[in-house]
Structure 1
Amino acid sequence: MLAGPTVHHGDHFDVKTFAVEGLVRVPGPPPRRSGERERDMHYVVITRSDSTPDSDLGHYLANVGATMEPYGGRLLAFDVPQRLEGAGGFTKTAVLEFPTGEAARGWYSSAAYQEIAAWRIATMGGQVDINLVSGVPA
């Protein structure tokens, strides 16, 4: 049961702060402990897309993994999302993990990934939403 959003700073809505059946999400990344560094954290890239023909998806997935390896990235989850809240619209969701934020940003801007991303845009089309979530303790 949604306990209701917490509103901060006037009309600004902090979507990271709400309680769902006893589980509480706090705003932003958890505070770092003394001595904790970036390498002690996990960094997650969440990719959502709304138009991905399955025939082209196999080619994309077969090639994108190799672009992540040099940066220590790995695929944690890939599936059709089960919408719990919101308008939806995305038909595929992928969750990738990287050892550092620098590694995640390096992967995204690498020539190898940008080549497969350009292929994805030209071949599969659709809207894509890619976000980096940082600072999750390891």
Structure 2
Amino acid sequence: MTSMLAGPTVHHGDHFDVKTFAVEGLVRVPGPPPRRSGERERDMHYVVITRSDSTPDSDLGHYLANVGATMEPYGGRLLAFDVPQRLEGAGGFTKTAVLEFPTGEAARGWYSSAAYQEIAAWRIATMGGQVDINLVSGVPA
């Protein structure tokens, strides 16, 4: 079966820029790359992908103005935020964000932190909608 996605397939062991993959969707990865002997978590990137169907942009501005500060202590940064361009699947989400963290522990620490949970509670109470937040295992840095 031929893939309908544009761009090359990346095979295990190939190197690619995480930002290019996450932001522009230029490549299709057939599975997580295996860790090499001696590779440690600190040598990997961890990506949190959030998708939501909440639409009030006025409320979203408040959330975005505050969520960045909750990531800083954990080394997190926003790689992409936009309305997704669906290439395949049912869709249904109106916003997608891609966040990067230096370790899985940092990403989990950010998500469970009091600072993030406070803004998340505000998001749930004010914006409603469905949210899907996933941590994707690391790829070689």
Structure 1 residue 135 displacement after superposition: 1.8
Segments of 4+ moved more than 2 angstroms: 1-28
Aligned partner of residue 19 in structure 1, secondary structure: helix
Q: Distance in 1 between matches of 2:13 and 2:42?
A: 36
Closer, same or farther: CA 27–134 of 1 in aligned 2, 3 Å: same
Three-state SS of the structure 2 residue aligned to 1:46 is strand
Asked if 1 retains the 8 angstrom alpha-carbon contact of 2:5 and 2:87, the reply is no
Q: What's the counterpart of residue 66 of structure 2?
A: 63
Change (3 A) 1:11 1:127: farther
Distance 1:2 1:113 in 2: 34
In terms of Rg, which structure is larger? 1
Report the structure, 1 or 2, having the larger strand content.
Answer: 1
Aligned length: 138
Of 2-11 and 115-124, the range deviating more from structure 2: 2-11
Q: So what's the TM-score if we normalise by structure 1?
A: 0.82
1:21 Cα shift? 15
Q: Is the 8 A contact 2:59 2:126 kept in 1?
A: yes
Gaps of 5+ in 1: none
Q: Which has the larger helix fraction?
A: 2
Q: Secondary structure at the match of 1:130?
A: strand
Match of 1:134 in 2: 137
- Farther-moved stretch of structure 1 (22-31 vs 89-98): 22-31
Counterpart contact for 2:9–2:28, Cα < 8 Å: no
Rounded Cα–Cα distance in structure 2 between residues aligned with 1:18 and 1:73? 17
CA shift for structure 1 position 28: 3.8
Tell me, yes or no, if the aligned pair for 2:51 and 2:93 is still in contact at 8 Å: yes
Moved more, 19-28 or 120-129: 19-28
Q: Secondary structure at the match of 2:19?
A: coil
| Per-residue deviation, 1:45 | 0.1
Which whole-Å CA distance do the structure 1 matches of 2:46 and 2:130 have between them? 23
1:3 aligns with 2:20: no
CA distance, structure 1, for counterparts of residue 80 and residue 25 of structure 2: 25
1:52 CA displacement: 2.8
1:66-108, CA deviations, whole angstroms, 9 ceiling, x for partnerless residues?
0000000000000000000011100000000000000000000
Change (3 A) 1:15 1:21: closer
SS at match of 2:27: strand
